[in-house]
Structure 1
């Protein structure tokens, strides 16, 4: 019997924030797990562009959202209403093309059978290549938020993946062909597909915490942005109702050192964690997850069915993500540190409210989103040649 031909899948992300990268990695991990005839590769587009362009595109974005959110809010709204045919948009795309010669060379070297972009930048570059007949394989675009911005409206893709029915509705309303739009959710790593199979009490005990007491997970995101130690001190000052904290500093080494010092002061209430590949277990241990409303982080929370207390949304996309969760009853939102402390205490004391939010979260979750995406791109994993 002849072995099925190997298919090569390429996922393309942009490391402006961590969510686009995590979505691409989730697709690769799922393809490797469930499609034995698939060779999957992830490329961060920023690793193959001019250094100056990379610095502006990634560092400038992070600087704006953290230091000048009002300016970012203006730019987000302005670019959402600027047609793709406008001079400013054409100039932007021209600069991107000039900076991405090495990326396009790398793509030709890889010779994939299919490409999935988890950011609009590589999708725009490949749209031009496809229109000139320089790329023959299908190219798909995965939107990684719970809303739709103009920059994601890249014509000519072979398919588009949306987080929700509303995002798909917006895609159709803004001119993308309905037959190419698929509602799959946002890809999360296969570990999150375990969902309810993760036992809360076992995950709590593995951290050396007490299952009988409420647990709050404070997730910073992979970059560890923000003054987490100060926030943890504020939360530890809340003595009623009693609860325990898991604080994830991500890659912020300085914050982790401070959190570990606080853990020594409060060994019965705090667990400090650095960058981790086991966020699914930390979420499973939590009765409430406190996080920024990034598209990937909240998709992970929904996959595990955890209620959320949202804070510090980036103007634009994260505010829209938060709005979706508030509408659906899976989250509360705190606008400042005072409100944060108040809402943490209130939610930790209200088991029925937490249970209702958890139920809504689980109902909204799409833990097998990556699998759903790949079935469109690669076909069923059980099909011959898949």
Structure 2
């Protein structure tokens, strides 16, 4: 079976979900299914739609209030059918080209932005392709994720399942499996935290705080590092070392390297071994992206959430707190305060770590691909 995953690299969560599914198909069904992925907006959409990922990242980071308004008023500003009609002239010829070129037997979508036009195109052309949606928003997914034409809708939480049914997805087509994470987070080599620190050339005896800016280096990372280093200099908190993942934000990486390069601060760019850094770390500060939250859960890593994208991530801090795997601290000062408390109490950190592992859905990806094979293979 030829499986085409339709995604858009709008955030690391969609990309990570796509990679996780590809890994699971290859692991559990080697040589059985051909799996391809396409970034719809970057690889096939014409101007100006090819700028949608950049526009979203800018708005979500710089204009969160505006994004909240768009998210909350999407249905009243423009209906799904109106959106599909407006985009049809731009995207439908490219969907036709894509399907003719790839000849898929099944579609898997991991991003909802092109759903209205996709469903309209399939109806108009009579293409009888099963459609599976793998929802990557944890608790408050946008309504555009869901459609009555979906043959299978895989969601990460019970709350997301309720939303799916509210938006006309048949209950028999909804599965709650969790959010798939890449295999390196599931099958990570069992080592002591100190061994991972040694592998990464970090000090074995010192606690390691991991600061994650996401793929684009979002957040008030510089202010946090500055206050963390200052607090450590004053001996106002336990001694520790810091690793900062700046993502693709090269300017931030240069600034931190120049300012704190000799302060037990390791500055990293975009990393491909995040599982190793999570395995070596005692706790992490990150924004409330669903992919990072569930990767941390799989690694038993307590998290301090520094912020969230309004709308689809709004309830993620409550999810983390409810499951006992971390807390929410929106300012650098509050983050340093929590870090001071946690690093002073190993047993508390241990409880957060145990709760994180209990929250993980390590076999979510396996469950999804097995169900796809059972239903459509």
CA contact 1:248–1:274 (8 Å) conserved in 2: yes
Q: Which residue of the other structure, out of 182, 194, 203, is the alignment partner of 2:187?
A: 194
What is the Cα deviation at residue 132 of structure 1? 3.5
In structure 2, the residue matched to 1:9 is 3
- 1:133-152 deviation line (CA, Å, top 9, x unaligned): 53223110011011232222
In structure 2, the residue matched to 1:92 is 83
Over 3 Å counting, the alpha-carbon distance change for 1:356 and 1:132 in structure 2 is same
CA contact 1:196–1:304 (8 Å) conserved in 2: no
What is the Cα deviation at residue 89 of structure 1? 3.4
In structure 1, the residue matched to 2:154 is 161
Residue 138 (1) aligns with residue 130 (2)? yes
In structure 2, the residue matched to 1:279 is 274
Structure 1 unaligned residues grouped into runs of 5+: 1-6
In structure 2, the residue matched to 1:44 is 39
CA contact 1:9–1:113 (8 Å) conserved in 2: yes
Give the Cα separation in 1 of the matches to 2:49 and 2:176.
33
In structure 1, the residue matched to 2:332 is 337
What is the Cα deviation at residue 72 of structure 1? 1.3
Q: Which residue of the other structure, out of 206, 228, 250, is the alignment partner of 1:253?
A: 250
In structure 1, the residue matched to 2:352 is 357
Runs of 4+ displaced beyond 4 Å = none
Give the Cα separation in 2 of the matches to 1:199 and 1:126.
47
What is the Cα deviation at residue 118 of structure 1? 0.3
Q: Which residue of the other structure, out of 217, 231, 235, is the alignment partner of 2:228?
A: 235
Residue 35 (1) aligns with residue 29 (2)? yes
Q: Which residue of the other structure, out of 206, 211, 214, is the alignment partner of 1:218?
A: 211
What is the Cα deviation at residue 63 of structure 1? 2.1
Over 3 Å counting, the alpha-carbon distance change for 1:135 and 1:203 in structure 2 is farther
What is the Cα deviation at residue 210 of structure 1? 2.4
Residue 149 (1) aligns with residue 142 (2)? yes
In structure 1, the residue matched to 2:308 is 313
In structure 2, the residue matched to 1:3 is none
In structure 2, the residue matched to 1:376 is 371
- 1:251-298 deviation line (CA, Å, top 9, x unaligned): 1122222333345322xx222211111001111111111100111111
Q: C-alpha root-mean-square deviation of aligned residues, in Å? A: 2.1
What is the Cα deviation at residue 195 of structure 1? 4.9
CA contact 1:126–1:135 (8 Å) conserved in 2: no
Give the Cα separation in 2 of the matches to 1:199 and 1:29.
26
Give the Cα separation in 1 of the matches to 2:353 and 2:87.
42
Give the Cα separation in 2 of the matches to 1:156 and 1:167.
18
